[in-house]
Structure 1
Amino acid sequence: MSLAILAGATALAVTPPGTAVDPLVVVANRTPVAAAESGRSLTVIPGEAIRDRQALVVSDLLATTPGVGVTRNGGPGGVTAVRIRGAEAEQTLFVIDGVRLNDPSVIGGAYDAANLLVGDISRIEVLRGVQSAVWGGQAIGGVVSLETRLPSPGAFSAEGAAEAGGLGTSYLRGGIGGGSGALAWRLAADAFATDGVSAARTGTERDGYRRTGASGRLTADLAPDVRLDLRAVWSDARNAFDGFPAPAFIFADTRERGRTREALGYAGVTFPLAGGRVKNRLGLALTDTRRRTYDPDQAVTDLTFRAEGRVSRLEYQGEAQLTPDWRLTFGAEGERSRMRIASPSPWDPQPQPLARSTGVDSAWVQALGSPGRDLTLTLAARLDQHESFGNHGSGQAALAWRPGGGATVLRASLGQGFRAPSLYQLYSEYGNAALQPETALAWDLGVERQAGDIRLSLTLFGRRTEDQVNFAICTGGGDPNCTGGRFGYYDNLDRTNATGLEAAASGRLAGFDIDASYTRTRARLEGQNGAPDRDLARRPKDMAALDVSRTLPGGVRLGLGLSFAGESLSDLWGGPPLKSRLTANLRAEAPLGDLVSVYGRIDDLTDEAPETVRGYGSPGRTAHVGLRARF
């Protein structure tokens, strides 16, 4: 992800006790930059805050940050969509340890965050707004970057946690690491299980979820300023879900289940050139996702769907200090994606799989420097050469101004983006080979101020997307895309527009550690061909979050989290709206000596059981207790 990714960094917006207020951020510029010098809009959740919140699922943490909305189809393990500033879920790029997470076999080619647990993750950066110039086509909405714990040379260390709670939930996590001389390593594993709740809100049987995962990192200094970096992440998840059983064909309890196995690997080497004046990184990344769904009540075969998505990516990144005031970062990337899907049925239990692939080659450059006192300018440009859609360029300019070098930072950015249709949207049974890429233009203006121990920020933003891909339902009328009895197909139906504001405050006030945010978003589907404008589904106009915590004498730490999402449309077809929801979580942790602590929490304190997707259930109030240890 960066030439200096092994360097530590502190928080920008979600601030644990005693955190410095002038941190480094990485994801915004693909290289460490002081937060005050970044013109892009970004929030960091550091390791201390991740530990303090006691969250097990990454999406629960993301939902507390400005501009981020999360919906989930049922309990843990249900399809989880992360939308930034009202964008589509497939327009959010996920990156873990520098490796981009996407599955070309899913509908939009996006990453389903359902199986993304906190595990060994030590830091999360959320970059908001169109970021295609630096991060490519998937980053129209923004980027979520996750970093696992880094190997630390020296003495052996270990840590672990175990907890149990309501709905038959259990969680185990452990990590070990160490090193000597030029070698450092870390291994981690976790296991999560729950009996869950019924995926169908009206159902009575529970749909359980089981997941195991592991990760590892190794660094080796091969020579002065030459480092080998190896990374791997793996998970195996099994979930039960509900469907539309005969004869009523309405959403209800079924015995359907699924399994998803995800694996990623990365090998890279950093080295200097030109007498150390140019830093370089060359890396190879692979991701492989395999999904299966089963229905024990289906005749002939219980397998109902199988899919494999694979992405290989070769990338180079260089960095040069042109002058004392200007730094140049540049790179080249080659990505190859492959999809293989099949839908077995009683009348065709062994269908011929549909296999398609595509590729995109990219080159990008970014200049970051100071054209004047207390002013930082970032200029970025990218050219993508897509195998099916030819050349597409995107650019971005971002400005940060710190008048007089004081406590106030003014920011502005303007960026272009494009996203090619997914392999599924192009070639599946609902595919449309005539699809065109989505394009977007976005801006934001923000101000941030450090007032004592509190950091305050306010950002205005906007984004316009053209040719957005959506599903068109066949209604007759001689549509040539509806031949063969198709129910519908993907088409460039939509022009969308999102505007809004984000406000945040974090720091320490009267002995309390606080983190608060409010987002106002108006995300609209603009009327075309005489159709009226309308709101986009599952985009609440108002979202807010508040977390308050305090450490008492004796080291006992208490915390309260509140999360609010306003009313929103459930779908674009006139269904009843999703009600506004307010949930509360209460937590505590107490030390049992220097190395061990006991902790506990109550999730959804008021038993709201919020419905984030129409018709799907939610766990409601549950209590959990656990132990943590470090050695």
Structure 2
Amino acid sequence: MTKFFLFLSAAAIASPAYAQDIPDSDTPELVVTASRVAQPASEVGQAVTVIDRAEIERRQTTIVSDLLATTPGVTVTRNGTIGALTSVRIRGAESDQTLVVIDGVRVNDPSSTGGGFDFGNLLSSSVERIEVLRGPNSVPWGSQAIGGVVNIITATPTEGVQARANAEYGYADSVFASGGVSGKSGPVSGSLTGGYLRSDGISSAASGTERDGYRQYGATGRLGVEFAPGIGLDLRGYFADSRVDIDDGFDPKTFVVADSPAYGTTQEVYGYAGLHANFADGRFNNRVAFTIADINRDNYLQPGGDVSFIGRGRSERYEYQGDFRPLDRVRVVAGVERENSRYNDGFSYADTGITSVYGQLIVKPVDILTLTGGVRNDDHEDFGNRTTFGANAALALRTGTTFRASYGEGFKAPTLYQLFSDYGNPDLDPETARNFDVGVEQTLLGDRARVGVTYFNRRTRNQIDFRDCIGAECVDRPFGVYDNVARAEADGVEVSLALRPVDALTLTANYSYIDTENRSVGANFGNDLARRPKQTASVNADYRFAFGLAVGGTVTMVGDSFNDAGNTTRIDGYAIGGIRAELPIGERFAVYGRVDNVTDASYQTITGYGTYGRAAYGGVRLRLK
């Protein structure tokens, strides 16, 4: 990591560059994840990272989690091949404590053990924008936003007709193709995007020789109709059908993951139907919506064989949100929500519901200061009421210095599996967390340079873990039960750098130090949390020549970590780098290519599971406007 900083320092001095983190001063960047309404980034006191479509295409990234792995405070692990179970942890929180939203739909899986979202099947085909909010934010988002929020937004149609498409081929006989069209005419707007990915993959078992393939086809769509100025209908949909080979066997001699003929399938359907009514020239905005997330998962022992696991998760939400500006410097955001969820694992069925009300007050006492405070109450059918608070402040001085501070609380309701399965415990309390962070951001060189530093502190209580049975309960629960047994702490620093002295050259870099600690009473007290490297860093650089050729590269470094709670199995740190290039042909076409892990580094993110070595890909891109 020290070598990385020497390199980064030299790069910052020798090649300052433009970064997508430096928005055009004439068009201030808007952020929606902090309060669930659009705000200028300068008014948000929480830590949010934004990745736009230009960055996705510049990086030539197929898998969304690969992008997230290069953002501050985020670590990613994957169980081997592309499409395998992929976990995203924010600031050292559990992966199940990350709330994921796609076009306004909460997509965490009610049928999974911890209610988390599997990022393995999330492709970049239709993604227009990603906002990553770090830290608990339960006031606007409710349960599961205990570690942070990943908000995925697909393309919003604009006036006229636009179309884009790309196709690429590469390592492991991989084929990736996507295409989309969008447009707006009068009161009607719409978009439709489809994607397909197939790959022979790699062996998910690090010791294996059999490739584990992956296939997905999917689509997203939007339809909007304005019945009158400010009053309209919004429909959004997402569908994905995925299949991945799984190595879930174990070598009888070494007891490590081994080749297996097993495979799994997943079908995801997410939908949003809403009405909006905006009055008084945008001073009183209203939205009512119904959303649905339906996820079906099946695992098979072998092709044509028996089903070894099924998961049926479904959640439905009814919500109202109002955005009221009684004064120019005062904004009130409030809402009411009802969520019903259910799951079925083939052995047990359960459902539950939660009713929520929240309110936020956003005040600008002076032009340079924005203060936000909020409260939320959630009434859960199975464990009663929970109230959470949050507050943040942003002070944007005219010297280019912005100070930010926030306090946020989060809670995560026990999942249906944790409550009602054969291992469930209906007396569980929700997991809770509180986080505060302070940061400063400075722009230099006429807005062509930006550096930011954020310190955070997070404490988690009542974390739900699986434990062995005790005493008399072993009669009914001989294999164990879920219980509130864990506590955890995390402290850290996030540093970001973006430079732009000339438009042709771009450079962004970030570094995160995250110190996690298990505070659970027992043998693991004081240990590092599993699979949480203390240090991560990433740097991206791109240059575009006058004749159009663009070249770039990414270097990511991840420090040492432990694979287990007992800290007995170490995962060595690693550094991987990739290079890329793109050449336009006329105004509508471009050819591109990249080489990932260009040094063919050998590494693991989970003990026993394989990772990709050097891999090359090439493709063509089409854009019509």
One-letter amino acid of the structure 2 residue matched with residue 498 of structure 1: A
Aligned to 1:537: 530
Contact 2:192 2:222 in 1 (8 A): yes
**AA at the equivalent of 2:518:** L
Distance 2:205 2:367 in 1: 59
TM-score by length of 1: 0.92
Rounded Cα–Cα distance in structure 2 between residues aligned with 1:555 and 1:140: 44
Equivalences for 1:529-608 in 2 at 5 Å? 532-608=525-601
**SS class of match (1:51):** helix
| Aligned residue identity for 1:63 | A
Match of 1:272 in 2: 278
> For 1:426 and 1:601, how far apart are their aligned partners in 2?
46
Q: What is the SS of the residue equivalent to 1:59?
A: helix
Q: Which residue does the alignment assign to 2:205?
A: 200
Map of 1:493 onto structure 2: 485
Distance 2:383 2:125 in 1: 38
Letter of the 1:525 counterpart: N
In the alignment, what sits opposite 2:228?
Answer: 223
1:414 lines up with 2:407 in the alignment: yes
Distance in 2 (alpha carbons) for counterparts of 1:492 and 1:273:
47
CA change 1:320–1:560 in 2 (3 A) is same
Q: Give the 3 Å change call, closer, same or farther, for CA 20–462 of structure 1 in structure 2.
A: farther
- Contact 1:187-1:214 within 8 A present in 2 as well: yes
2:79 counterpart residue number: 73
Question: For residues 579 and 487 of structure 2, what CA distance do their matches in structure 1 show?
Answer: 42
How many Å separate the matches in 1 of 2:464 and 2:515? Answer: 19
Please identify, of 426-435 and 439-448, the stretch whose mean Cα deviation from structure 2 is larger: 426-435
CA 1:534–1:376 in structure 2 vs 1: closer, same or farther (change >3 Å)? same
Structure 1 residue aligned with 2:152: 146
Whole-Å Cα distance in 2 between the matches of residues 531 and 620 of structure 1?
34
Select 2:498's aligned residue among 485, 490, 506. 506
Higher relative contact order (CA 8 A, sep 6+): 2
CA shift in 2, pair 1:575/1:253, >3 Å? farther
Amino acid corresponding to residue 536 of structure 1 in structure 2:
L
SS in 2 for 1:614: coil
Instruction: Give the Å deviation of 1:31.
Output: 1.0
Q: Secondary structure at the match of 2:201?
A: coil
2:239 matches 1:234: yes
Closer/same/farther in 2, CA of residues 302 and 538 from structure 1, 3 Å limit: same
Paired position in structure 2 for 1:39: 45
Cα distance per residue 1:110-146 (max 9 Å; x no partner): 1111100001101111111110111112111111111
Q: Which of the residues 295, 310, 316 maps onto 1:312? A: 316
Contact 1:231 1:267 in 2 (8 A): yes
Q: Check whether the contact 1:232–1:264 (CA below 8 A) recurs between aligned residues.
A: yes
* Match of residue 124 from structure 2: 118
Which residue of structure 2 aligns with residue 58 of structure 1? 64
2:81 match: secondary structure: coil
Code of the residue aligned with 2:449 in structure 1: it is I
How far apart, in 1, do the equivalents of 2:130 and 2:423 lie?
36
| Contact 1:289–1:310 (8 Å) recurs in 2 | yes
Q: Is the 8 A contact 2:518 2:524 kept in 1?
A: no
CA distance in 2, matches of 1:134, 1:161: 36
Give the superposition deviation at 1:279: 1.0
Compute the displacement of 1:274 (Å). 7.0
The Cα offsets for residues 441-496 of structure 1, whole Å up to 9 and x where unpaired, read as 1100000111120111000001101111112245xxx4344335743322211110
Query: 1:98 — aligned with what?
Result: 104
User: Where do residues 225-264 of structure 1 align in structure 2 (5 Å cutoff)?
Assistant: 225-244=230-249, 250-264=256-270
Deviation track 1:471-524 (CA, whole Å, cap 9, x = no partner) reads 2245xxx43443357433222111100000000012324652011000000011
- Residue of structure 2 aligned with 1:469, choices 464, 467, 482: 464
Q: What secondary structure does 2:531 align onto?
A: coil
* Contact kept? 1:568, 1:579, Cα under 8 Å: yes
Partner SS state of residue 56, structure 2: helix
Q: For 1:445 and 1:16, how far apart are their aligned partners in 2?
A: 20
1:332 is matched with which residue? 336
- 2:217 equivalent to 1:184: no
**Residue identity opposite 1:488 in structure 2:** G
CA distance in 2, matches of 1:179, 1:370: 35
Is the 1:430–1:490 Cα contact (8 Å) retained in structure 2?
yes
Ranges in structure 1 where 5+ consecutive residues have no aligned partner: 1-11, 343-352
Aligned match for 2:376, one of 374, 382, 385: 382
What do you get for the CA RMSD once the two structures are aligned? 1.9
The 3 A distance-change label for structure 1 pair 31 and 622 is same
Question: Cα distance, 1:181 vs. partner?
Answer: 1.6
Residue by residue over 1:280-323, the C-alpha shift from the partner in whole angstroms, topping out at 9 and shown as x without a partner, is: 0010000100000001389xx61111111000001111011121
Distance 1:192 1:480, change over 3 A: farther
In 2, the alpha carbon distance for the partners of 1:19 and 1:238 equals: 45
> Which of residues 357, 360, 365 in structure 1 aligns to 2:354?
360
Q: Residue deviations 1:198-235, cap 9 Å, x none?
A: 11100110010001110100111111210211000000
Whether contact under 8 Å (2:22, 2:498) holds in the other structure is no
Give the aligned residue type for 1:523.
Answer: T
Cα deviation digits, residues 60-96 of structure 1 (max 9, x gap): 0011110011110101111111110000111111111
Q: What's the % identity of the aligned pairs?
A: 42
SS of 1:194's equivalent in the other structure is strand
Distance 1:594 1:13 in 2: 23
Map residues 601-620 of structure 1 onto 2, 5 A cutoff: 601-620=594-613
Q: Which moved more, 1:244-253 or 1:562-571?
A: 244-253
Q: Secondary structure at the match of 1:196?
A: strand
Question: Cα gap change, 1:584/1:482 in structure 2, threshold over 3 Å: closer, same or farther?
Answer: farther
Q: Check conservation: 1:416, 1:441, Cα contact below 8 A.
A: yes
Q: Answer yes or no: is the 8 Å Cα contact 1:609–1:621 preserved in 2.
A: no
In the other structure, the counterpart of 1:628 is: 621
SS of the equivalent of 1:532 reads coil
- Give the unaligned 5+ runs of structure 2: 1-17
Q: Distance in 1 between matches of 2:605 and 2:422?
A: 28
User: How far apart are 1:176 and its partner, in Å?
Assistant: 1.3
CA spacing shift, 1:199–1:427, aligned 2, 3 Å: same
- Name the amino acid aligned to 1:70: V
Q: 1:276 to 1:128 in 2, by over 3 A?
A: closer
Q: How does the TM-score come out when normalised to structure 2?
A: 0.93
Please identify, of 463-472 and 21-30, the stretch whose mean Cα deviation from structure 2 is larger: 21-30
- Quote the Cα distance in structure 1 between the aligned partners of 2:522 and 2:563: 24
Contact 1:13 / 1:43 at 8 angstroms: preserved in 2?
Answer: no
Distance of aligned partners of 1:586 and 1:473 in 2 relative to their CA distance in 1, 3 Å threshold: farther
Mark the CA change 1:373 to 1:233 in structure 2 (over 3 Å): closer, same or farther.
closer
